[in-house]
Structure 1
Amino acid sequence: MDRRRALTTAVVIATAGAAVALTFPAFAGTGERERPSGDVTADRALAAPEVLAALSRDFGLTTEQATDRLAAEREAAEAVRTVKAAAGAAWAGAWLAENAETLTIAVTDQALADEVRAAGAEPKIVAHSSAVLDQVKSALDTNADEAAESIPGWYVDPSSNTVVVLARADVADAEATAKEFAEASGVDAAAVRVETSEEAPKPLFDVVGGDAYSVGNAGCSIGFSVVGGFVTAGHCGRAGADTRGVNGVAQGEITASSFPGDDFAVVRTNADWTPTASVNNYNGGVLPVAGSEVAPVGASICRSGATTGLHCGEVRALNATVNYAEGTVTGLTRTSVCAEPGDSGGAFIAGDQAQGVTSGGSGDCTRGGVTFFQPVNEILERNNLTLITTGDGGTPPATTPPATPPATTPPAEPSEPPADGGDCAAEGSVARDGTITRPGQRRDVVRFRAPAGTHAACLTAPEGADFDLYLQQQVNGGRWVTVARAATDAGSETLTFEGGAGNYRYRVASASGTGEFELRFAVN
């Protein structure tokens, strides 16, 4: 996100508080991790075998150790969410130790530390709240245009309770330049730490053919599927540009793009492409996407990209600023995962939780390096998008049958259309762009069993809104495949499709606007 706003007040340093160390089950072979009865399946569902294999390769772990690490990291993420909500303004960040066995949560309220200590935590003193460190970083962001090329970037580091400003080790007087930059930004020197670095980050696109998708001659990688398309990196292309898939077939259009400042883009795909809750594992299969729970600092994370495939590392910092030659990008996550040109836009995933899309970095997958990603949750929020997920925490869509809905929604078993071929009606509402809302929160407006014949449907959207209509058919294994789509710029959509007997459903998504809609359909 672009946080270049001037500070109207001086930076205020928070009073001393405490850090709480929470210990999680060991994974490194020092003893068997105790699991409740029946918990093995839940642990295994945290990641597909390909993720476990990549973690084992990149971290030097056995499959069991990798599984236990993911389980501990899931517990850590839940602890972070709970304590952060309770701490409020006293929150000062969180990080996992290198072995992922210990999570440290920093707060500035001693009373809160006592509460956590009562739950089995050990307190420790910190000086600055996250709000204060974010203020310091925002001041640096505001002055980003004055940052020299010898300053690769800066980020909030909760473990040192400072904002780290990087200085290139290969440039003379870079550390002094970094200190001068911080001083000129008007921040308290006690809240800033200058650190030398070998990094020289750059966006990771390349002018090559045969990548996962292309914009003109530039090849990039798909990030995550959303209703109506997918998200990727903004430096891959500007709004209005057409995209083509890895097979060279017309794929869609970039409808939103932001770079620098941010680094995200949204591609609206055409009827030939069906978004799925999956990520390429580059081993002949896919990884499931079950949600977008943010992984804490120190957690393991993997990246999928068209050039180098699947690689893993650790989260190093949240809310990092990168000083690319093209301009400054803020709000990125810093990782130890490698990447190379053509990997840009690709998916960062922790277990089965979507994290973000690849932005840029330093190094390569031979020597290693540092890579940054744009958090996916910000992309979703900024563009009113809905992430497509498996919905059950870890089963790929190809093997996931539709869940049984509440009684207030259409029946789980498809109903028969009118015997005389007449039309049916269904109503619902879209609460925000890209989101379908109705009783029970089902994504499909209606599902039904139909004989072979011609499907016809008409969708009426509210005035000023642009809604799209999808007809999907259930195939082997319970997977739903889009067989027809009506996606014009008109307020109403009509659709026809010749299909065989089977189970079908209609889905509605918003390209823009919100409100009530009516769907009428028939099979003749």
Structure 2
Amino acid sequence: MTRRRTSRVAMAAIVTAALIALPGTIASASGNSSNDLEVTGGEENAPPWAPDSALQERLTLPPITQELLDAASAIDKLGSGDPRYNTVEVLPDRSGLVTWWHGEPSAELAAYAEASDVSVAFAESTYLPADLRRIAAALLSDPTSGVVAASIPKDGSAVEVRVTESARQVTAPPSDVAGVPIEVAGVGDIVPFARQNDIYAMGGARIYRFTGTTIDAGCSSGFPVQQPSTGYKGVVTASHCGDVGSQWVRWPNSTGSTVYAYGNNGSMVARIPSYDGAIIQTTFNNPGFYVSAWDSATYTALNGVAFVPVGAEICYSGSTTGLVCGNIVQETGYPYNLSGVGAVTGVRTVQSSGAIAAGEGDSLGLSPLSGLRVVL
């Protein structure tokens, strides 16, 4: 295993973004989903959409252009599957892209970078990314290690792990594996976090789990979806919020008459725990999401799905914390063990201003991608 010198970047806060699909569809951690999942069209009761400019004003970094996003997506596709490829990063000033790679870039990637209208630079990954991924997966799958998350920084200089408090005190993880440094970047279990009367079935709304007599949990809706082959409609939430068959309502009361789904009993019909995603089936929905404060009635349109590169800014919009921007993507395809759920793959971000990014009840608050009329 060859070590190459490069700069060091430490891991900070951990948050997740789930990618999910309706039954029979496929979604990947790199942001590519199957053609059987699409953002749904509006209904006759669709609300008037607010301009996207209001959301863009909340961003802490310059917007990412569509040209940059397309180039980042193309590079990720070319690099995926190559053991030397780690990740692609959008520079903070949005002047170009950096492809983190071990050794000489492939001829195909080098040719793309040469021909691209976007500035594409290559930076050295210290260790072979495929080796880092294997080590991270082995640590995460070992029940005796106490590791609940394993991160690979963009420079590929180590494997950073988060461990339980007991593991830190009793059985700390090894300091290296096959010559690769293992660094403890956080301590404690990753525990799932458990606007206010949504009548449009949109993203970022408060939803409640109803037992038939009581309310026993609260989460946030993510975004509306539709399965083209059947016409079934639904909204996304987090799989740790409930089980298949659980009922969800939009406003707590003793009878559950105001069910969130406006039919179908607001039933959770599918779960994909590996992405912490789930579908609540609805009779209708609207392609939008709530923005601004936790109790805001302000919303804007949902325009599609997009690849999320390292360096992108994400704004989380949940029903507890509200809209929080300044979450900068550090890693995609991030594997961790979510307490009560198991192995999950998501996106790791760092909050640039130190603000609270999400709180109890924000799962699965929608994540608008920086500066684009595209969200996920």
TM-score of the superposed pair, with normalisation by structure 1: 0.48
Question: Which of 242, 247, 253 is the matching residue for 2:267?
Answer: 253
CA distance in structure 2 between the partners assigned to 1:78 and 1:175 by the alignment? 47
| Counterpart-to-counterpart distance in 1, 2:169 and 2:345 | 23
Q: 3-state SS of the aligned residue for 1:84?
A: helix
Deviations along 1:358-390, one digit per CA (max 9) or x if unpaired, are: xxxxxxxxxxxxxxxxxxxxxxxxxxxxxxxxx
Relative to structure 1, is the Cα distance of residues 305 and 122 closer, same or farther in structure 2, using a 3 angstrom cutoff? closer
Match of 1:427 in 2: none
Is residue 79 from structure 1 mapped to residue 68 from structure 2 by the alignment?
no
d(CA) in 2 for partners of 1:159, 1:127: 6
Q: In structure 2, how many angstroms separate the alpha carbons of the residues matched to 1:298 and 1:174?
A: 34
- 2:172 aligned to which of 152, 157, 177: 177
Select which of 301, 309, 320 maps to 1:307: 320
> Structure 1 residues 111, 52: CA separation in 2 closer, same or farther (over 3 Å shift)?
closer
Please point out which of 142, 155, 158 is paired with 1:159: 155
Q: Which residue of 1 aligns with 2:12?
A: none
State the Cα distance separating 1:233 from its structure 2 match: 0.2
SS at match of 2:63: helix
Asked whether the 8 Å contact 2:267–2:281 carries over to 1, the reply is: yes
Call closer, same or farther: CA 1:246–1:193 in 2, change over 3 Å.
Answer: same
Contiguous gaps of at least 5 residues in structure 2: 7-50, 199-204, 211-215, 227-232, 352-356
2:238 counterpart residue number: 233
Assess, with a 3 A threshold, how the Cα gap between structure 1 residues 321 and 86 changes in structure 2: closer, same or farther: closer
Q: CA deviation at 1:300?
A: 0.5
Residue identity over aligned pairs, in percent, reads: 20
1:238, distance to aligned residue in structure 2 (A): 0.4
Superposition map of 1:125-524 within 5 A: 125-143=124-142, 145-148=143-146, 151-167=147-163, 173=168, 177-179=172-174, 188-190=178-180, 192-197=181-186, 201-205=190-194, 212-216=206-210, 217-227=216-226, 228-246=233-251, 249-250=258-259, 251=261, 252-259=266-273, 261-270=274-283, 274-282=284-292, 283-312=296-325, 313-326=327-340, 328-337=342-351, 338-350=357-369, 351-355=372-376
Q: Tell me, yes or no, if the aligned pair for 1:321 and 1:328 is still in contact at 8 Å.
A: no
1:292-321 deviation per Cα after TM superposition (whole angstroms, max 9, x unaligned): 112111211111111111111211222223
Q: Secondary structure at the match of 2:311?
A: coil
Aligned in 2, Cα 1:324/1:123: closer, same or farther, shift over 3 Å?
closer
Q: Which amino acid aligns with 1:75?
A: E
**d(CA) in 1 for partners of 2:159, 2:286:** 38
Larger Rg: 1
Which residue does the alignment assign to 1:49? 53
Q: Deviations over 1:136-195 (max 9, x none)?
A: 33223332x2242xx452123223354321357x87956971326xx6xxx5342x5414
Letter in 2 for 1:179: P
Q: Distance in 1 between matches of 2:220 and 2:123?
A: 43
Return the alpha-carbon distance in structure 2 between the equivalents of residues 166 and 175 of structure 1.
Answer: 15
Distance 1:140 1:255, change over 3 A: same
Residue in structure 2 matched with residue 483 of structure 1 by the alignment: none
Note if contact 2:124-2:155 (Cα within 8 Å) is conserved in structure 1: no
Which AA in structure 1 matches 2:183?
A: V
Across the two proteins, how many residue pairs are aligned to each other? 288
User: Would the alpha carbon gap of residues 162 and 276 (structure 1) be closer, same or farther in structure 2, given more than 3 Å must change?
Assistant: farther
Residue 287 to residue 167, structure 1, CA distance change in 2 (3 Å): same
The separation in 2 between residues aligned to 1:214 and 1:54, in whole angstroms, is 28
Between Structure 1 and Structure 2, the one with more strand by share is: 1
| Aligned partner letter, 1:77 | L
Cα deviation, 1:267-315, whole Å, max 9, x if unaligned, reads: 1113xxx222111114433232222112111211111111111111211
Unaligned 5+ segments in structure 1 are 1-12, 19-46, 60-65, 356-524
Distance 2:341 2:145 in 1: 10
TM-score, length of structure 2 as denominator length: 0.65
User: Against the structure 1 CA distance between its residues 326 and 16, is the aligned structure 2 distance closer, same or farther, given a 3 Å change threshold?
Assistant: same
State the SS of the aligned residue for 1:336.
Answer: strand
From the superposition, tell whether residues 289 and 83 of structure 1 become closer, same or farther in structure 2 (CA, over 3 Å).
same
Structure 2: distance between partners of 1:226 and 1:50: 24
